Amino acid sequence: MREPTFWILTALAEQARHGYGVIQEVARLSEGQVTLLAGTLYAALDRLTAEGLVAVDHDEVVDGRTRRYYRLTDYGALALAAESERLQRNAQTATTQLRGRLSGRPELGPA
């Protein structure tokens, strides 16, 4: 799973959100490390909807403009859980591999 997909699904895990809400939640959850552009987000939402990972929840008209809300499907929640577990295993493997190297004094700067 690509990183933007991971963050979009994560942003939708608790509640349905409209596009700008997804962009804001991804920025908040990633602590500013991931910034989604509107074009990237909507292309991803179209793809994720076609794949059954997200679904349109409802539309709402605000100031004459329609906001479409998306929600995580059960299939999307399973995919996100599987990816989360995969990332945790990868991080644990890296931590284990580094444990011996970093048990002494780590060198500073390039080797």
CATH at residue 88: 1.10.10.10
Mean pLDDT calculated for residue range 48-56: 98
79 is a domain residue: yes
Query: Token digits for 111?
Result: 């080797």
Mean pLDDT calculated for residue range 47-75: 96
**pLDDT for 33:** 95
Domain with 81 in it: 3-96
72 is a domain residue: yes
111 is a domain residue: no
Domain count, the chain: 1
Look at residue 15 and give its three-state secondary structure.
coil
104 is a domain residue: no
61 is a domain residue: yes
Contact 6, 80 (CB under 8 A): yes
Q: How confident is the model at residue 101 (pLDDT cuts 50, 70, 90)?
A: confident
Nearest to 36 by CA among 11, 55, 59, 61: 11
| pTM of the predicted model as reported, rounded to 2 decimal places | 0.86
Nearest to 5 by CA among 49, 37, 44: 44
103 is a domain residue: no
Q: How confident is the model at residue 99 (pLDDT cuts 50, 70, 90)?
A: confident
Mean of per-residue pLDDT scores for the chain: 92
Dihedral (CA of 43, 89, 78, 14) sign = negative
Rounded to 5 degrees, what angle do the CA atoms 87, 38, 61 make?
115
106 is a domain residue: no
